[in-house]
Chains A and B, each alone.
Chain A
Amino acid sequence: MKLIIRIILIGALTYFLSPYFTWWLGMLASFLVCFMLPSSGLNAFIAGFLGMGLIWLGQSWNLDVQNESAFSSKIADILLVGEPLYLVLISGLVGAISGGFSAVTGASFRQLFVKKKKQSFYS
């Protein structure tokens, strides 16, 4: 359940804030969400991977359907990836990898503070 909340949070932040920031906004969102909400490393990775990745995949796919692949087919030719669909998948994958590792980084960053907090509590 917590995983789903994290995925939705990362996805929502990526979707609504990306247009106003640079492309790595999703990485920042993944990092922050997994920093704020405690989670294991693997859990965080999945959250970032799916949160940012699905949004990138979905939004690419959505734009491509609206455009009937008119433009993506040209770009696919230039990048030698063949089918426009592959371009949608690669876009999703680039988003997913970026999100996944940022999320783990966020979670492991939190771990540092957790330790610090405990120390400060007893000292």
Chain B
Amino acid sequence: MKTFRFVLFLIISLSIGIVFNSRLVVSGQPVPPLGKFLSPFHGFWQNAENDPIDLASQLNTSGLQDPVKVHFDELYIPHIFASNDEDLFFTQGYITAYHRLWQMEFQLLAAEGRVSEIIGSRALNFDRSQRRIGLKYGAQKSHDAFKKEEPETYKMIEAYSAGVNAFINTLSYADYPVEYKILDYAPEEWSPFKCFLLISNMHNMLSRGERDLEHTNAITKWGRDVFEMLYPERPLESKLDPVIPRGTEYNFDAIAVEKPNVDFPLNITNPTIDAPDPDNGSNSFVVNGKKTKSGKVILANEPDLSLNLPSIWYVAHLNGPGINVMGATLPGSPGITIGYNDSIAWGNTNAKRDLVDWYTIDFKDAKRKEYLYNGNWVPTNIEVEKFEVKGEDPFYDTIVYTHHGPVTYDRNFSNQTTEVVNLAMKWTAHLPSKELKTLIAVGTAKNYAEFVEVFSDFTGPPQNYSFASTTGDIALWIHGKFPLKWDEQGKFLMDGSKTAFEWNGMMPQSHNLHVINPPQNFLSSANQHAADTLYPYYQYDHNYEYYRGRRVNDRLRIMSQVTVKDMMNLQHDNFNYNAFEILSTMLDSLDTASFIAKEWEYYEKLRAWDFFNHPEREGPSIYEQWWKNLNNLLWDEIDSSDVKVYRPSWFNTSKILLKNADFEMVDDQRTDVEETTGDLFRISFKQTIEDLEEFQEKTKGSLAWYEYKNTTVRHLLGLMPFSFKQIKIGGNRHIVNAASNGHGPSWRMVVELGEDEISAWGIYPGSQSGNPGNPLYGHMIDGWADGTYHKMLFKSNLSEESEGILYTVNLQPEE
């Protein structure tokens, strides 16, 4: 009896222990392990911080050679002072991990296709996609080549990794970032390979955008004429304002690329892997001393990316022998990505170009051990990828590799029930590359020549780099490796068995577009076309930007006596170029004679609107809804298409509505009457009034633009209590101030360079600490929205007593 009693209670106690130690699913909702998570000594209570920083002021750590000082300023930006490079990058790793460990690791687990390990099988398709597009594959190739060819820089990556690990080793469960506790897993050891995954991840965000398969679908379905109307390479050439100013001379002998006499295969395929966010882009502009009030050079940059917490950027200042550099870093990568040193400043915007191409693959048989190429059967390389899945058995996926790249779409992955087309993916991100060397070396570049030199190893994602120096030079270089292509090569699906479809090698760096000290005294880029038609190479992307760049250049052309404040204001410019070019035509086409009162009300508001998307205005909300409804009506053929196609750009949509009103898709196929553009404007206007009345009723809110747009900075896990919504900021996509619903300026920087002095200002929508329990979590968001900039503390000598230093940590090598 007593034994029975004991065994019973033992079982109850152990069950309680096990249940409270496990992640449960209650009515479909995962619940963190209650005992672990709610323990006041270990669980989330331990993540509630009452002070902004909780690092000890004296830290002993193995892996350091000499003592290092880290001074934190009022924004909790670390100013790291080390006496050798390895200690410098070690400490960068350590401190970045202190603020951002969970994010650093999680984003790279995602890049590697390992999210299922954490959240279970619902992430399996995502993970498989990530492996099939070769993010891990590219990172591994880069890592292995780098380790062999660049041993000196590799040591710095090892030092950074050792720093991350030194921090991880100080942690017990109670110290883990709260996201680990919510999802119930633990940080793993960091490795240099992860730094290479980060570069793969950047490629994925910035250089994977393409619509090649959709193009083949569209041209197969509708023919060439409709295709050209929907997706012209350079609509309204005279309006385009390319990155490299028109008239720039190209002083090199271009390598001739002959277009072979071949036809593109016309297979319908429906890609299922999500494209990167088409809004990913940036603005950067720089003016020289002739244009500024102070006579100094001013550079401004802001990358527009998904708005998340913890933020994609982390600001740091690195100081060591021969190096003094500050700016925005990507957590997980050593060095500074966007910033300035004692001599130069640089910023970048995505240099869009179609760098992904798809090739059809003919396998010899179902074993897929050989494929047809140039008339021969060539062996494939078959690899089995293992996916750990939380709570389930591991999943195995077979990926076949050809010389083009991984066969991303095949019978293993396709959802198609009909005949399966095997498609291999060719992408510059699969090439071994050395971006990390550049990111470390650019910190010590002293002038234009060195700046160009350090980018000779940079593959991508290709960027338009703005440059400014204390000697007064301004420049712009498109850095990255571009394949040599014949006209329209890779714009459509290609035949992987024919040599004629192969890329023709890579363009030499000296042929990359660049310009230094132009007569216009300014340079800018905003993801638009790279150059005019005189550039002797084929340049193509489906997603060039048409509005931000023109607005920036319109302004810069007329601005004079420019101040730092003017540059900041230009970053916050809310001019809606899209509305400016088409709204009056839309309004003119309305039948005002038949208006009811409500229609007058909306009509008058739009007539009175000055095309600025300021946060309190109502005009932008009405216009946005109208434009959306208009596009829904106009592109019904595309949205309801049985094969995957995509909507044309806003700019080309405007062009069609204004200049090609007889285009066949203007007619709404669902009705018997033949609609004109005027009909579309009128129908969508009435619909807009209904929608907005309903919106106001539902939300009890106003039509103020910021309320309607609802700019939100989302936590990476989508947890709303860790997110910030209804941020009072203007702008929108295709506006210089590119803040849309969940996307926008992720780091705003303005740098002024004088002969002996560099001053910099910056802000980003987030906080240095990534801990939602930190009192400063997200503290810069309001300032980011209203135009505040923080003066960066950039000095080559700082001490505990320096003005603006709140806290100092001394790291000592462990005896």
Residues of B within 8 A of A104 (CB): 9, 13
When the two chains form their complex, are residues A22 and B173 in contact, meaning their CB atoms are under 8 A apart? yes
Interface: B775 (CB within 8 A): yes
Interface: A75 (CB within 8 A): yes
When the two chains form their complex, are residues B12 and A64 in contact, meaning their CB atoms are under 8 A apart? no
User: Which A residue sits closest to B775, measured CB to CB?
Assistant: A70
Complex Cα spacing A25 to B34, Å: 15
Type the 1/0 row for B1-44, where 1 means its CB is closer than 8 Å to any CB of A: 01101100110110011001100000001011011101111111
User: Which A residue sits closest to B34, measured CB to CB?
Assistant: A94
Q: Chain A at the B interface: mostly helix, strand, loop or mixed?
A: helix
The smallest C-beta distance from A94 to any residue of chain B, in angstroms, reads 5
When the two chains form their complex, are residues B40 and A63 in contact, meaning their CB atoms are under 8 A apart? yes
When the two chains form their complex, are residues A60 and B45 in contact, meaning their CB atoms are under 8 A apart? yes
Residues of B within 8 A of A90 (CB): 34, 38
Interface: B454 (CB within 8 A): no
User: Which B residue sits closest to A68, measured CB to CB?
Assistant: B50
When the two chains form their complex, are residues A67 and B720 in contact, meaning their CB atoms are under 8 A apart? no
Interface: A39 (CB within 8 A): no
Complex Cα spacing A41 to B610, Å: 79
Cβ contact of A108, chosen from B9, B43, B49, cutoff 8 A: B9
Type the 1/0 row for A66-87, where 1 means its CB is closer than 8 Å to any CB of B: 1100111111011110000001
Residue of B6, B720, B772 most packed against chain A (CB within 10 A): B6
Residues of B within 8 A of A115 (CB): 2
Residues of B within 8 A of A72 (CB): 44-45, 48
The smallest C-beta distance from B665 to any residue of chain A, in angstroms, reads 46
When the two chains form their complex, are residues B44 and A75 in contact, meaning their CB atoms are under 8 A apart? yes
User: Which A residue sits closest to B14, measured CB to CB?
Assistant: A105
User: Which B residue sits closest to A74, measured CB to CB?
Assistant: B721
Residue of B21, B36, B41 most packed against chain A (CB within 10 A): B41
Tell me how many residues of B have a C-beta within 8 Å of chain A: 41
Type the 1/0 row for B702-743, where 1 means its CB is closer than 8 Å to any CB of A: 000000000000000001111000000000000000000000
The smallest C-beta distance from B497 to any residue of chain A, in angstroms, reads 53
Cβ contact of A91, chosen from B13, B39, B772, cutoff 8 A: B39
When the two chains form their complex, are residues A101 and B44 in contact, meaning their CB atoms are under 8 A apart? no
Cβ contact of B12, chosen from A24, A67, A105, A111, cutoff 8 A: A105
When the two chains form their complex, are residues B21 and A24 in contact, meaning their CB atoms are under 8 A apart? yes
The smallest C-beta distance from A11 to any residue of chain B, in angstroms, reads 13
Complex Cα spacing A26 to B719, Å: 31
Residues of B within 8 A of A10 (CB): none
Residues of A within 8 A of B41 (CB): 18-19, 23, 25, 59
Residues of A within 8 A of B722 (CB): 74, 78
Complex Cα spacing A85 to B121, Å: 35
Q: Known A75-B44, A105-B9, A105-B13; judge A56-B39 contact (CB<8 A).
A: yes
Complex Cα spacing A80 to B182, Å: 14
Type the 1/0 row for A25-57, where 1 means its CB is closer than 8 Å to any CB of B: 101000100000000010000000000000010
Complex Cα spacing A94 to B9, Å: 17
Complex Cα spacing A19 to B39, Å: 10
Interface: B174 (CB within 8 A): yes
When the two chains form their complex, are residues A71 and B48 in contact, meaning their CB atoms are under 8 A apart? yes
When the two chains form their complex, are residues A112 and B21 in contact, meaning their CB atoms are under 8 A apart? no
Interface: B432 (CB within 8 A): no
Q: Known A101-B16, A105-B13; judge A91-B6 contact (CB<8 A).
A: no
The smallest C-beta distance from A54 to any residue of chain B, in angstroms, reads 12
User: Which B residue sits closest to A44, measured CB to CB?
Assistant: B9
Residues of B within 8 A of A19 (CB): 41, 174
Complex Cα spacing A60 to B35, Å: 13
When the two chains form their complex, are residues A56 and B40 in contact, meaning their CB atoms are under 8 A apart? yes
Type the 1/0 row for B42-76, where 1 means its CB is closer than 8 Å to any CB of A: 11111111100000000000000000000000000
Complex Cα spacing A23 to B21, Å: 9
When the two chains form their complex, are residues B50 and A66 in contact, meaning their CB atoms are under 8 A apart? yes
Residues of B within 8 A of A75 (CB): 44, 721
Type the 1/0 row for B474-505, where 1 means its CB is closer than 8 Å to any CB of A: 00000000000000000000000000000000
The smallest C-beta distance from B36 to any residue of chain A, in angstroms, reads 5
Q: Known A71-B773, A75-B44; judge A23-B13 contact (CB<8 A).
A: no
Residues of A within 8 A of B29 (CB): 80
The smallest C-beta distance from B181 to any residue of chain A, in angstroms, reads 10
The smallest C-beta distance from A75 to any residue of chain B, in angstroms, reads 5
Residues of B within 8 A of A94 (CB): 20, 34-35, 38-39
User: Which B residue sits closest to A55, measured CB to CB?
Assistant: B40
The smallest C-beta distance from A61 to any residue of chain B, in angstroms, reads 9
Complex Cα spacing A24 to B20, Å: 9
Residues of B within 8 A of A59 (CB): 40-41, 45
Residues of A within 8 A of B5 (CB): 41, 108, 111
When the two chains form their complex, are residues A105 and B17 in contact, meaning their CB atoms are under 8 A apart? no
Q: Known A27-B13, A72-B48, A105-B9; judge A78-B38 contact (CB<8 A).
A: no
- 17 of the cross-chain contacts (CB-CB < 8 Å) are A22-B173, A23-B35, A23-B36, A24-B35, A31-B13, A70-B773, A71-B772, A71-B773, A72-B45, A75-B44, A80-B29, A87-B38, A91-B38, A95-B39, A98-B17, A102-B16, A104-B13
Top 9 closest pairs, chain A to chain B, by CB: A71-B48, A59-B40, A23-B39, A18-B41, A77-B721, A71-B773, A105-B9, A74-B721, A67-B48
